[in-house]
Chains A and B, each alone.
Chain A
């Protein structure tokens, strides 16, 4: 028995070596099991996730309003749109998005602002909560529960709840600061200079709790002997955290950063439920949706926007995959 398995143990494997049995060594029945267990989900994933992702790229080069078929003829220039449908359009969609579409650059800007706020404020806030709670002061459990509560709520629900806070004439914020009259009301959600920040407050409200929990898990995993050693060396809490704990948590930090970036690119629900993503709340995700799923369907154009979103998202995704699976490929034999 051991001789058969010995050959499969990799030379430099860590303590918990895994050995995988190659397909060749499996019985026919087992191979069927593999085929089913792996094949069905794979098919599902390919059909409903990857195929559409690739199809979006293809569609971005067409001009189509969603009705009728697609064909591979090139679109004729200077012809009424209703006759020019479902044809190949080249990179015109991208060109129009970047030059003519008035919502594109604001959306990119807003996405970047969203990202910046998350990275510079929401995530550090969550980390701060985690660090403070990890110190084990009295009431930590309660604080943790309260700060985490928004994560359980649907973002659509969060948008609805916060509309009461931001209501112009009746909301809590305007009433408390005395600006809820008909002439001096602050229009938190309607003023395009303010509403993105108002919505970002809502998003932070949720994101901080999410990051807090992830970070807490990481903190709890830090080997206490490290901390003990630091204390023995005379470090105070602040120094212990920054010099000892934080560096050790590098993998967690990367994961959290990636999660933050992905969450900020995914932002959609809040903005959509507030005002369908117009007038200062444009985001790439909403632009895609409003061009594709709406009364006015500009499928090709919307797909182009979707591809832009895809390309931007690929950066953090690749970082995450690289970070996560780097060890994987080093570890196991393939």
Chain B
């Protein structure tokens, strides 16, 4: 229920952030804890559904939930939504990566009425182009179910809401409890402890860090967390908006720390998909894996591996001023396309989804994400999910992940750059890569 453990100062901070959200700064993304327990004085029942009366017709729902686990959860959510609103839902699933690739074409061409998408600048970018429908009226009804941070995540650059969130998940370091117990490893809380642990694992014949970057995006997470640990949250967000150049010494520090870590990371990452890295962890051939619960825990479930053995810890501290205050906790949600045909039914469905009940329903089959509705503690939460809620709640601010926080073209450029870094983490190469990132950023963010 309501978590009274939040300090008053944090509550003030959140309220302040909520106030600032009303001012549309260019790219004014303000991420904050999307914890389900941050009470700001509102009732925590989280079950008010608003007046989602019965509407008719069919609504098409474009989805990128192609992995079998989340696909099932989404299907059950749609069934529940149909029951609640009366609108029939036609799900149109596209492969996860392909959906993202095609999004601009999709939204301009023949989009479904509703579609799955992500919070962050990535959402604001498309909303600013006029490709999504503002849903302020939906938020008028469901606003009470979410805290200010969640609402900010759903707001576009112009101050209107465009998205209804469904879940979020943290990026953390996974490990198998049995391995740690058997070999006598302890969870590291500082950088030096992490390196020492990695060294020990290597001598024990275990790959310290499973690592995969064939798709390009997984490694962005490592950059993010290192940046937030070393330089802090504000620096990170500014960098994502190119208010700080990529040639800044702070960025160099990030890459240098990463280079320290590289000897302990699984080789051949650029040819390996993350699912295979997760399998290495399952098979206990690797000791740790830094990735999102949405991926790793889901993979454990799909592969019927020992989920009870899986545990995680938050990335260790590097710079004491920032400790472990920040993390990436991307939020997924749903939006209505500008070209939607059945807008009323779509809005009704969103009104249903924006409730704790709907989230709990979704999370019945989803054992790896956590909802954002206030006070939501779904009865089906397993250990991983319960811990996720706690850890997300602990942090002072939460980012959305590089490919959601920065311009899409920049994220693409960074994917290539980081893959080159993985190939050659030498100092000289770092300097070259930084220069290249900055040159490209200039052409992407300004003319």
Given contacts A67-B131, A79-B447, A296-B409, contact A278 B216 (CB under 8 A): yes
Tell me if A298 is interfacial: C-beta within 8 Å of chain B: yes
A295-B103 in contact (CB<8A): yes
Which residues of A60-105 have CB atoms within 8 Å of chain B's CB atoms? 63, 65-68, 75-82, 84, 89, 92, 96, 100-103
A67-B104 in contact (CB<8A): yes
Tell me if A192 is interfacial: C-beta within 8 Å of chain B: yes
Report A178-195 CB contacts with B as 1/0, cut-off 8 Å. 000011010111111001
A298-B214 in contact (CB<8A): no
Partner of A187, one of B268, B412, B439, B440: B268
Tell me if B408 is interfacial: C-beta within 8 Å of chain A: yes
**Nearest 6 pairs of A and B residues by beta carbon:** A190-B271, A187-B268, A190-B270, A296-B409, A187-B271, A296-B408
Partner of B104, one of A66, A188, A189: A66
Nearest CB in chain B: distance from A181 CB, A: 10
Tell me if B108 is interfacial: C-beta within 8 Å of chain A: yes
B216-A293 in contact (CB<8A): no
Given contacts A295-B101, A295-B103, contact A189 B271 (CB under 8 A): yes
Which of chain B's residues have a CB closer than 8 A to the CB of A207?
A: none
Nearest CB in chain A: distance from B381 CB, A: 32
Which of chain B's residues have a CB closer than 8 A to the CB of A77?
A: 447
A182-B207 in contact (CB<8A): yes
A82-B266 in contact (CB<8A): no
Cα(A190)–Cα(B269), bound, Å: 7
Report B121-146 CB contacts with A as 1/0, cut-off 8 Å. 00001001111000000000000000
Partner of A185, one of B268, B411, B445: B268
Cα(A78)–Cα(B445), bound, Å: 9
Partner of B214, one of A67, A92, A275, A293: A275
Which of chain A's residues have a CB closer than 8 A to the CB of B446?
A: 78-81, 84
Among B280, B415, B416, max chain A CB count under 10 A is at: B416
B439-A295 in contact (CB<8A): no
Tell me if A294 is interfacial: C-beta within 8 Å of chain B: yes
B440-A102 in contact (CB<8A): yes
Cα(A50)–Cα(B207), bound, Å: 55
A96-B443 in contact (CB<8A): yes
Cα(A165)–Cα(B419), bound, Å: 23
Nearest CB in chain A: distance from B205 CB, A: 10
B128-A279 in contact (CB<8A): no
Nearest CB in chain B: distance from A99 CB, A: 8
Tell me if B100 is interfacial: C-beta within 8 Å of chain A: yes
Nearest CB in chain B: distance from A291 CB, A: 9
Which of chain B's residues have a CB closer than 8 A to the CB of A264?
A: none
Nearest CB in chain A: distance from B13 CB, A: 29
Tell me if A260 is interfacial: C-beta within 8 Å of chain B: no
A168-B272 in contact (CB<8A): yes
A298-B447 in contact (CB<8A): no
Given A169-B276, A279-B419, 13 extra CB contacts under 8 A:
A63-B447, A80-B446, A81-B447, A100-B443, A103-B416, A168-B271, A187-B267, A188-B271, A190-B214, A190-B269, A279-B420, A294-B102, A295-B102
Given contacts A182-B280, A192-B270, A279-B419, contact A296 B447 (CB under 8 A): no
B423-A192 in contact (CB<8A): yes
Which of chain B's residues have a CB closer than 8 A to the CB of A56?
A: none
Output the nearest chain A residue to B438 by Cβ-Cβ distance: A100
**Residue contacts A-B, CB under 8 angstroms, 15 given:** A79-B446, A80-B26, A84-B446, A183-B207, A187-B267, A190-B214, A190-B270, A192-B420, A279-B416, A290-B412, A295-B103, A296-B409, A296-B411, A296-B412, A298-B409
Nearest CB in chain B: distance from A9 CB, A: 56
Given contacts A75-B447, A81-B444, A168-B272, contact A293 B105 (CB under 8 A): yes
Tell me if B285 is interfacial: C-beta within 8 Å of chain A: yes
Output the nearest chain B residue to A293 by Cβ-Cβ distance: B105
Nearest CB in chain B: distance from A92 CB, A: 8
Output the nearest chain A residue to B442 by Cβ-Cβ distance: A100
Tell me if A297 is interfacial: C-beta within 8 Å of chain B: yes
Among A76, A182, A189, max chain B CB count under 10 A is at: A182
Which residues of B402-432 have CB atoms within 8 Å of chain A's CB atoms? 407-409, 411-413, 415-417, 419-420, 423
Tell me if B436 is interfacial: C-beta within 8 Å of chain A: yes
Nearest CB in chain A: distance from B345 CB, A: 26
Which residues of B79-106 have CB atoms within 8 Å of chain A's CB atoms? 100-105
Cα(A290)–Cα(B413), bound, Å: 11
Cα(A9)–Cα(B443), bound, Å: 63
Partner of B439, one of A100, A103, A296: A100
Which of chain A's residues have a CB closer than 8 A to the CB of B280?
A: 182
Cα(A187)–Cα(B129), bound, Å: 41
Nearest CB in chain B: distance from A197 CB, A: 14
Which residues of B187-244 have CB atoms within 8 Å of chain A's CB atoms? 207, 214, 216
Output the nearest chain B residue to A290 by Cβ-Cβ distance: B412
A102-B108 in contact (CB<8A): no
Output the nearest chain B residue to A289 by Cβ-Cβ distance: B101
Which residues of B232-280 have CB atoms within 8 Å of chain A's CB atoms? 266-272, 276, 280
Which of chain B's residues have a CB closer than 8 A to the CB of A187?
A: 267-268, 270-272
Which residues of B152-204 have CB atoms within 8 Å of chain A's CB atoms? none
